[in-house]
Amino acid sequence: MKERVSVSTGNACKLCAPFGACMALRGIEGCIPLIHGSQGCATYIRRYGISHFREPLDIASSNFTEGAAIFGGRDTLFTALDNVSRSYKPAAIGITSTCLSETMGEDVPRYLRQYESERQRPDGSPLPVLFYASTPSYRGTHTDGFHEAIWAVLSSLTGIRTDRPFQGSSEEGKRVNLISSFVSTEDLRELHSILRSFEVPYTLVPDYSESLDGPSWETYQQLPEGGTPLADIRAMADAAGTLYLGHPPGKDGGQWLWENHGIPLSRLELPIGIEHTDRFFEALANVTGREIPESWQKQRGRLIDAYMDGHKYGSGKRAILYGEEDFVVALASFLDEIGVIPVIVATGGAATRRGRSSFFQRIQGALRNTAAEERFIMDDADFISILDRAKTLEADFIMGHSKGLYLSRELGIPLVRCGFPIHDRMGGQRLLHLGYRGTLNLFDLLCNTLLQAKQDQVSKGYTYL
């Protein structure tokens, strides 16, 4: 098949970097995101986030006009900071850049230093803490922006203390840091359950499990409750170790804690599938000095039992897999583990263009049971290029977020919805993917999707399988 040559993207398999940064910032207690750019950027992020999380999502904007685009956005940024501080009374404001402000060469860190030196509240109370994440979309995806914002928060709140002695990897009763890649609100609640079961202090960052998926309100809350407290983030500089779920494509908050505070760093894949979840629990046991609670051992046993019960439904099936890099690597390992052949593994992140081959290496390491000639790995992918490749591969199902409905319709095969975004079903934000329970949920979802597809292919349905 002749390769399609393209100079543009059609139906992109990614979102913008400021979007990812805003999602991470909403996981910080009392923090409001502020887009330094046009109003349209903030409106897009609000609308896109609301349709997945089904929650109000306030995103402020410095609201560039033609004048700001020509003469600079310092004054509009100062006005926005004043308005947000007065209206929301936030504990923190997370400023993210846009393509426009970055192309103009806006020196936002200098602006923020000037703002902090010039402004003070009339009552003498401190100004909100200001974070800044550089997030032009032409330099990355929403995954880049998400990790960039985490780095901005950690580097701002923990500071630089190179004189601190290095900590051991296991200190009984010491705080544990857990930094997560972009996962669902239900996944974050599961991580809380796992961490609490080890009975040690911990900090989970970011934590939008309540701020983006809370209970109904009697009155509107401008800043919903929830998020990682600022004090807990500051305490991350004095922990026994950091577990980082995912591989930041750029700036790395876990590496920051290691280099500046000597906090040992363990890099892990998202705990999806038995192998990756085992490694996660082993890392937790190592850093806490505690035994893995029996309840999780039993849950692991139930997952193995389910694998045996449903093996015949998924084994040998061929899958098209796409999404964020960290999520796709974990899902690829899970599918390989249950006997599914991922014939296409795709991400919208431009790994090779930015000089990063780790995505390809991670996928190759994850697909130990899949022959090299049976898999095609794509980065910087859009859905047009994925479809071109998929037409020749006779896949049985697609696994990824709801934007893959286009592929499902064109190829006539079912879509197993998971990850982000899920706009065409209820409860996308509450899908559980992580840990033994999340893996079991995905396994049931996959098997039942394949069973329904099989039932739909015959004229007379059947009720016993």
> Tokens representing 238?
């004095």
If you search the block for the tokens 């996944």, which residue do you land on? 187
pLDDT for the residue numbered 159: 82
Enumerate the H helices of 167-293 as residue ranges: 185-197, 230-234, 253-261, 274-288
The percent of the chain in helix, strand and coil, each rounded to the nearest 5, is 45, 15, 40
Cα separation of the two ends of the chain: 39
Of the ranges 38-42, 330-334, 419-423, 461-465, the best mean pLDDT one: 330-334
Distance (Å, rounded) from C-alpha 311 to C-alpha 216?
Answer: 40
Lowest model confidence (mean pLDDT) among 14-18, 161-165, 176-180, 326-330 = 161-165
Is 90 exceeded by the pLDDT of residue 269? yes
Q: Considering only CA atoms, which of 364, 372, 362, 273 is closest in space to residue 314?
A: 273
Is 60 exceeded by the pLDDT of residue 355? no
pLDDT for the residue numbered 293: 96
Edge-to-edge strand list for the sheet holding 92-97: 60-61, 31-36, 92-97, 129-133
* DSSP H or E segment with residue 439: helix 435-456
Distance (Å, rounded) from C-alpha 313 to C-alpha 447?
Answer: 6
What angle separates helix 325-337 from helix 274-288, to the nearest 10 degrees? 110
Distance (Å, rounded) from C-alpha 205 to C-alpha 233?
Answer: 8
Distance (Å, rounded) from C-alpha 213 to C-alpha 432?
Answer: 13
Query: Domain ranges in the chain?
Result: 17-158, 176-293, 296-456
Please give the residue that has the higher pLDDT: either 262 or 72. Answer: 262
Q: Considering only CA atoms, which of 449, 439, 329 is closest in space to residue 398?
A: 449
The CATH code belonging to domain 296-456 is: 3.40.50.1980
Distance (Å, rounded) from C-alpha 86 to C-alpha 63?
Answer: 17
Superfamily holding 176-293 = Nitrogenase molybdenum iron protein domain (3.40.50.1980)
pTM of the full structure: 0.92
Is 80 exceeded by the pLDDT of residue 339? yes
CATH fold for the domain made of 17-158: Rossmann fold (3.40.50)
pLDDT for the residue numbered 388: 93
Is 80 exceeded by the pLDDT of residue 158? yes
Average pLDDT of the chain, as a whole number: 90
Preceding peptide of 421 cis, ω within 30°: yes
Enumerate the H helices of 178-247 as residue ranges: 185-197, 230-234
Residue 381 DSSP SS3: coil
- CATH fold match for the domains 17-158 and 176-293: yes
Lowest model confidence (mean pLDDT) among 55-69, 76-90, 352-366 = 352-366
